[in-house]
Structure 1
């Protein structure tokens, strides 16, 4: 199915979009940067939703998958905030959003590394696992370097760590293509569950009404 192209498109679009913007504080680069972040935010949420359901279909209904989904949603929100609040006018908000984005994104992908070996089956585990582990380790080291350098008068080196970390994150998203290529079909259905839940609620309501009627 075509779903395996979605992570690759997201990675290529994000890398190309971020490298196109040399100075995000000037127009029109500032607008391009904001739109790139917003589009990447939507793509990230789409990919995370598919991955969440894929792990569930594998039979893994543990809390790790749910925690990963929550972290992914917070990461996407932080990414949108980072793009829409530029550094110069809103420096504190921008830095807070960037740190939130990186922290929750790293948590998300470390959990995905765990699920790579936990969720069964995983046909490409033998190479996806080590590659994901290397990228997660490098991303964590880059974030630590970014945090340390930012607290010191080394803004240029901190910015380099930030951009390198961003590229690593896009590569991690592109790696989902290896798992998505095994998906034959994808559909989102809510009507069946909703009808059962509604019927159950109506049945409970009728029972309660009859009890109250006979008690009076």
Structure 2
């Protein structure tokens, strides 16, 4: 359930960010291309999260690893692209502080990713036993325990860096307002000739752009 909430929240955040950047830079071709690339990378990362959640490591190791690569790999690239966008939009759209904060979070994510990849590669190299993939409970005296702990800590660190990066959107999203509009073509759902009706507009967020 928690993974599903994170997945939905991630998709919504990535899409709203895409629409906001597009609205702020309607004629900047470089920013438009980067923005579209960021949207694709973000959605791929969310898809990877869905794969990780639905295919457990002990039962579908290869699929689980592929999902993790999509989640963390595409997610890291998404953060990098958004940081470049922040650099491109300063100081016209926002201040330099936002860019530097996002750059620090990206560096944090990069260090965590390097630690996780290095230690996990050593851990699953085969030098610590063939059944290590199925191992769920670790003791300090087990072979590879230190590498396992570093890998786990780095994985959690990357997750927190993703969460921290999304938190940098808070001030940006306070400057945007979304609405959902329902256009009715008739007063019933039968196949009849359309007649003029009032359309309904409902705010999704309360702050105006």
Residue 57 of structure 1 corresponds to 23
Secondary structure of the 2:179 match is coil
After TM superposition, list the pairs within 5 Å mapping 1:2-41 onto structure 2: 35-41=1-7
Whether the 8 Å contact between 1:128 and 1:178 is mirrored in structure 2 is no
Shift, 1:155, TM fit: 1.9
Deviates more, 1:54-63 or 1:131-140: 54-63
Higher relative contact order at CA 8 Å, sep ≥6: structure 1 or structure 2?
1
Shift of 1:69: 0.4
Aligned-residue offset at 1:46: 0.5
**Which residue among 179, 195, 201 is the counterpart of 1:187?**
179
State the TM-score, normalizing by the size of structure 1. Answer: 0.67
- Partner residue, 1:76: 46
Tell me whether 1:133 sits opposite 2:103 in the alignment.
yes
Unaligned residue ranges in structure 2 (runs of 5+): 124-146, 184-209
Distance in 2 of aligned mates of 1:103 and 1:190: 38
The answer for the alignment partner of 1:122 in structure 2 is 93
Q: Calculate the TM-score normalised by the size of structure 2.
A: 0.69
The aligned residue for residue 100 of structure 1 is 70
Q: Tell me which protein shows more helix as a share of its residues.
A: 1
Structure 1: gaps spanning 5 or more residues: 1-34, 192-216
The answer to whether the Cα contact below 8 Å between 1:68 and 1:112 also exists between their aligned partners in 2 is: yes
Aligned length: 155
Instruction: Confirm whether residue 165 of structure 1 aligns to residue 131 of structure 2.
Output: no
**Match for residue 149 of structure 2 among 153, 156, 162:** 156
**Aligned-residue offset at 1:117:** 2.4
Measured after TM superposition, the shift of residue 97 of structure 1 is 0.6
Q: Deviations over 1:113-171 (max 9, x none)?
A: 11112237433x32211111001011011111101100113222111110111111111
Deviations 1:169-191 (A, max 9, x none): 111111111211111x2135697
